[in-house]
């Protein structure tokens, strides 16, 4: 099982406003995420992300969340925005993960949706090629978004699991449940998006600070 971390790393994803980028950094987030997916209320353009990335301290890692992005888009994204990691949140195969990692020379995190025990096998496949795993709640079949739906999964499914690469817990986390999620899973990293919003895509600075504090046992 991933070692229990007294101070889990925290990722605040789906940031689209300067004030919220600053709030995440001030709260002590370890990662900030920018979403490049047109259907998402958190979607940002490459120029927007470039401006926001300029506000991020060097100590905070900048992550781009993309969904089945082609090389043409990724070429522009990586050239324009100073990123520390690419997060693949679509139906990318292990081969595609390896291709993206080799082409851009950036660490790659692969999101895998979990809804039942049979979904866990995919995590082993992606762990062989990705630098990190994002263990997320599997979206409903009719969902428009691959993540950020505010849904949790049964954390007991991964309570006794470990992988060969670092992993991050996501899916339905918020300031009220993140401490329990960390306790049950032993997650050393947690990711939140909708759980720190006052409305779809509308981040809340108070909730951001509360989440980071709660994740670290405050």
Residues 129-158: what's their mean pLDDT?
Answer: 77
Strand segments, DSSP code E, in the chain are 9-12, 31-36, 61-66, 85-88, 108-114, 132-137, 167-169, 189-192, 197-199, 202-203
Q: Which residue has the higher pLDDT, 202 or 153?
A: 202
- Per-residue pLDDT at 153: 85
**What are the tokens at 179?**
């401490």
Would you place residue 1 in the very low, low, confident or very high pLDDT band (cuts 50, 70, 90)? very low
In the predicted structure, residue 177 carries a pLDDT above the cut 70 = yes
Assigned domain for 83 exists = yes
Rounded to the nearest 10°, the torsion over CA 84, 89, 93, 94 is: 40
Would you place residue 172 in the very low, low, confident or very high pLDDT band (cuts 50, 70, 90)? very high
Residues 203-216: what's their mean pLDDT?
Answer: 97
Residues 62-74: what's their mean pLDDT?
Answer: 98
Domains of the chain: total = 1
Assigned domain for 3 exists = no
Q: What is the pLDDT of residues 75-109, one digit of tens each?
A: 999 999 999 999 999 999 999 999 999 999 999 99
Assigned domain for 95 exists = yes
- The DSSP output letter for 3 is P
Q: State phi, psi for 60 to the nearest 5 degrees.
A: -105, 130
In the predicted structure, residue 49 carries a pLDDT above the cut 50 = yes
Assigned domain for 67 exists = yes
Rounded to whole angstroms, the Cα distance separating 70 from 111 reads: 17
Residues 112-131: what's their mean pLDDT?
Answer: 94
- Per-residue pLDDT at 69: 98
Would you place residue 6 in the very low, low, confident or very high pLDDT band (cuts 50, 70, 90)? low
- Per-residue pLDDT at 12: 98
Assigned domain for 89 exists = yes
Averaged confidence pLDDT in the chain:
92
Give me the active site residues, please: 13, 136
- Per-residue pLDDT at 139: 73
Q: Which domain holds residue 165?
A: 9-215
Residue 176's CATH number? 3.20.20.70
Assigned domain for 50 exists = yes
Assigned domain for 2 exists = no
Residues 8-22: what's their mean pLDDT?
Answer: 98
**What are the tokens at 181?**
């999620």
- Per-residue pLDDT at 148: 52
- Per-residue pLDDT at 188: 94
- Per-residue pLDDT at 13: 98
Assigned domain for 1 exists = no
Segment among 140-154, 165-179, 184-198 with least mean pLDDT: 140-154
Rounded to whole angstroms, the Cα distance separating 54 from 81 reads: 9
Q: What is the pLDDT of residues 139-150, one digit of tens each?
A: 756 655 555 555
**Nearest residue to 135 (alpha-carbon basis) of 71, 152, 211, 207:** 152
Q: What global pTM score does this model have?
A: 0.92
């Amino acid at each position: 099982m991933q070692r229990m971390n007294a101070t889990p790393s925290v990722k605040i994803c789906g940031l689209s406003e300067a004030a919220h980028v600053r709030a995440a950094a001030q709260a002590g987030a370890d990662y900030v995420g920018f979403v490049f997916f047109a259907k998402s209320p958190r979607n940002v353009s490459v120029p927007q992300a470039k401006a926001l990335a300029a506000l991020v301290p060097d100590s905070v890692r900048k992550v781009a969340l993309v969904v089945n992005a082609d090389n043409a888009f990724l070429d522009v994204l990586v050239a324009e925005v100073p990123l520390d990691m690419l997060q693949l949140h679509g139906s990318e195969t292990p081969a595609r993960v390896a291709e993206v990692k080799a082409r851009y020379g950036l660490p790659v995190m692969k999101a895998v949706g979990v809804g039942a025990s049979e979904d866990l096998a995919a995590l082993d496949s992606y762990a062989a090629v990705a630098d990190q795993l994002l263990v997320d709640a599997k979206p409903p079949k009719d969902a428009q978004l691959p993540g950020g739906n505010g849904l949790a999964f049964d954390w007991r499914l991964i309570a006794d699991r470990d992988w060969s690469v670092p992993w991050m817990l996501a899916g339905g986390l918020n300031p009220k449940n993140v401490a329990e999620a960390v306790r049950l899973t032993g997650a050393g990293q947690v990711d939140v998006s909708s759980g720190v919003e006052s409305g779809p895509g509308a981040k809340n600075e108070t909730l951001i600070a509360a989440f980071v504090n709660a994740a670290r046992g405050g």
